Amino acid sequence: MDDANGLLSPSASTKRGRDPIFAMLSKCQAAAAAGADVVNGTIGALLEDDGTLAINATYVDAIKASTSLDVAAYSPLSGLSEFNDLLVELALGPERTGLLQSLSAKAMATPGGGGALRLTAANLVEQGGVVLMRERHWGPYLGFLGEAGLQRRTWPLLGPNGADVDLEGFTAALRTTVGEQHQVLVWLNDPAHNPTGLSMQPDSRADVLDAMVHSALEHPEVGHSLMIDAAYTLYAEEPHGWATTLAEAMDAGMMWPENLMLFWAVSLSKSHTAYGARCGGLVALHPEEEALSRVYEAFAVTGRGTWSGPPRAPQSAAVGVHQDPELAATWGERLEVLSELLVRRRAALVAACDTHGVPLNPTHDGFFAWLEHSRASDVVDFCAARHVYLVALDGGVRIGLCAMPEASMNRVAEVMAEALEVLA
């Protein structure tokens, strides 16, 4: 009999395997339950030093205080209008006013940043095509692509001499794709990249934007979409760096091609510590309102056919927080505290790795750090045997400093150094 007694379709029968992050988390939890002194670097959520979930209570309390109407009623299919306006604010920050003098913006609420990824995958590339991304990326990207009938084409994470962009690799991948497809979609998780913590610097952002603009101008018959996956952006030193780069390019006289649209996938999961609320959205910029409206009409149809409608209460709660000056200030103060916690942990990890000779990748912001290694599973298994739990991914080890107390960073580096020595 076929897979699952013939119940699964041929495409579904290929969906196998357990998420490596949750698999290692289960091992860590079992060891802790047995009394082991564990360091848990598997979790992709921000934890306090005592292992409890770090919460920005201003927003969470606002959700808990939601009216019966907001809990029970449907949201509009594209989200509450006031929430969509907030999405634009979160994506563009202080550059919003200047950019919207010459550009139009449109936003749509989605169930977290993952919903935004789904919208672009389902609508901005023809089935059977590829989406461009760096070779180190969030693993579930592949799931979104698979569900949309797409594959990936990658370029190296780092350029020559450790540069934060491989511009030659990016332009080569872009050039190849333009020659093969009628649409080009780039997913770029920046700043505070998952899984490395890398953040592109201003010159690198400008180079990537310039490459997209030139490609679109040279190939007016090919649609170009650049989507900034901004899941961790509010924990970065330059939270609105891409908006700043765009504003500077516009001020310098950038000619915006009609066949280019810029997107931001916004998530409230990390910035508002409400992972389970599934609240986020997709923001786009383009000179023509008509073009935005047509694209978002397609997005709304996809949303209706995928998740029906986004949750209403988290949207309304976010609007309430950000429209109230006192609540907004309190939320911002707590965000700053959590950001500083990550800064201290990263500094401690980097210093400890330097001391013990562990060659971390460049890491600047956000929740993670990264150790490039061809035998990542062996490294992780060695560390787990010493009750330091990390995650093996394609090409290296993801280190969840978001979940590890500052005092544990030396132990983590020491164990990784021992693993590297044994596996050399």
- Strands 388-389 vs 391-393: parallel, antiparallel or unpaired: unpaired
317 located within any domain: no
Q: Which residue has the higher pLDDT, 383 or 8?
A: 383
Q: Is the pLDDT of residue 241 over 80?
A: yes
Give the pLDDT mean for 136-142: 94
Q: Which two tokens stand for residue 236?
A: 């970065």
Give the pLDDT mean for 203-225: 98
pLDDT above 70 coverage of the chain, percent: 99
**What confidence tens digit (pLDDT) does each residue in 289-314 have?**
999 999 999 999 999 999 999 999 99
Q: Which two tokens stand for residue 78?
A: 């594209």
63 located within any domain: no
Within 8 A by CB and 6+ apart from 12, the residues are: none
**CB half-sphere exposure, 40, CA atoms < 13 A:** 27
Q: Do both 146 and 251 map to the same domain? A: yes
394 located within any domain: yes
287 located within any domain: yes
- Strands 223-229 vs 183-189: parallel, antiparallel or unpaired: parallel
Q: For residue 57, which amino acid is it?
A: A
Q: Do both 14 and 94 map to the same domain? A: no
| Closest by CA position to 410, among listed 343, 336, 358 | 358
Q: Do both 49 and 81 map to the same domain? A: no
Cβ neighbour number for residue 151 with a 10 Å cutoff? 13
Q: Do both 291 and 148 map to the same domain? A: yes
| Closest by CA position to 402, among listed 360, 351, 355, 344 | 344
Q: Do both 149 and 218 map to the same domain? A: yes
pLDDT in the model for residue 6: 79
Alpha-carbon span 152 to 119, nearest angstrom: 16
Q: Is the pLDDT of residue 359 over 70?
A: yes
Give the pLDDT mean for 131-153: 96
Rounded to an integer, what is the distance from CA 172 to the centroid of its chain?
24
Signed CA dihedral, 248, 251, 255, 256: sign only: positive
Average pLDDT, the chain: 96
Q: Do both 47 and 175 map to the same domain? A: no
Q: Do both 356 and 382 map to the same domain? A: yes
pLDDT in the model for residue 1: 44
Q: What are phi and psi of 16, to 5 degrees?
A: -135, 165
CB 372 within 8 A of CB 156: no
**What confidence tens digit (pLDDT) does each residue in 72-126 have?**
999 999 999 999 999 999 999 999 999 999 999 999 999 999 999 999 999 999 9
CA distances from 137 to 188, 193, 282, 368 (A): 9, 8, 19, 12
145 located within any domain: yes
pLDDT in the model for residue 23: 87
Signed CA dihedral, 216, 218, 223, 224: sign only: negative
What's the pLDDT band for 2 if we cut at 50, 70, 90? low
N- to C-terminal Cα distance for the chain?
A: 46
Task: Indicate the burial class of 104 (C-beta count within 10 angstroms; 0-12, 13-18, 19 or more).
Answer: middle
Q: Is the pLDDT of residue 18 over 70?
A: no
Q: Do both 115 and 189 map to the same domain? A: yes
Q: Is the pLDDT of residue 169 over 60?
A: yes
What CATH number corresponds to the domain at position 12? 3.90.1150.10
Alpha-carbon span 177 to 129, nearest angstrom: 9
CB 256 within 8 A of CB 287: yes
Structural domain including 94 reads: 75-311
Within 8 A by CB and 6+ apart from 246, the residues are: 95, 99, 209, 262, 285
pLDDT above 90 coverage of the chain, percent: 93
Q: Name the β-bridge partners of 105.
A: 285
Q: Do both 299 and 336 map to the same domain? A: no
Q: Do both 152 and 208 map to the same domain? A: yes
Task: Fill in the DSSP letter of residue 238.
Answer: S
Give the pLDDT mean for 151-180: 97
**What confidence tens digit (pLDDT) does each residue in 19-59 have?**
778 889 999 999 999 999 999 999 999 999 999 999 999 99
Q: Do both 280 and 355 map to the same domain? A: no
What CATH number corresponds to the domain at position 116? 3.40.640.10
Of 311, 341, 356, the last residue of a domain is 311
189 located within any domain: yes
Alpha-carbon span 421 to 245, nearest angstrom: 42
Q: Which two tokens stand for residue 54?
A: 């770090």
Q: pTM score, two decimals?
A: 0.96
264 located within any domain: yes
Q: Do both 222 and 300 map to the same domain? A: yes
Of 311, 337, 364, the last residue of a domain is 311
Number of domains in the chain: 2
Of 276, 311, 346, the last residue of a domain is 311
25 located within any domain: yes
Q: Is the pLDDT of residue 412 over 60?
A: yes
